[in-house]
């Protein structure tokens, strides 16, 4: 199942190549077209990170898929040797 981040990972190189090629064919120099395309790729990355950022799974979802954790176990009581 493809998700939002799969599309973003595919669009980054397509953006770099597609916009660079389009601007070069349109008459801009390569040294101008590459930074402009990189700026668009950076905007895509920024959107994926900050606008539609990855969220941590809920605790109910974690409990459902993970087993008992040693950090969650109660601490052993101290036994006296007396």
At 29-75, the pLDDT tens digits run 999 999 999 999 999 999 998 888 777 665 555 555 555 565 666 66
What is the predicted pLDDT for the residue at 74?
63
Q: What is the mean pLDDT of residues 3-20?
A: 94
Q: Any idea of the CA torsion for 61, 65, 67, 69, to the nearest 10 degrees?
A: -50
Tell me if 9 sits within 8 A of 44, measured CB to CB. no
Please check the confidence at residue 82 and state whether its pLDDT lies above 70.
no
Please check the confidence at residue 13 and state whether its pLDDT lies above 80.
yes
What band does 15 get if pLDDT is binned at 50, 70 and 90?
very high
Alpha-helix residue ranges (DSSP H) falling in 1-82: 4-25, 30-46, 59-65
Tell me if 5 sits within 8 A of 54, measured CB to CB. yes
What is the predicted pLDDT for the residue at 54?
76
> How many alpha carbons lie under 13 Å from residue 57 in its C-beta half-sphere?
8
């Amino acid at each position: 199942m493809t998700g939002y981040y799969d599309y973003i990972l595919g669009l980054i190189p397509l953006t770099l190549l597609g916009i660079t090629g389009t601007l070069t064919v349109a008459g801009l120099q390569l040294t101008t077209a590459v930074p402009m395309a990189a700026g668009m790729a950076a905007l895509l990355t920024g959107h994926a990170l900050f606008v539609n950022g990855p969220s941590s799974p809920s605790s109910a979802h974690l409990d459902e898929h993970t087993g008992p954790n040693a950090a969650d176990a109660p601490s052993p009581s101290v036994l006296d040797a007396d």
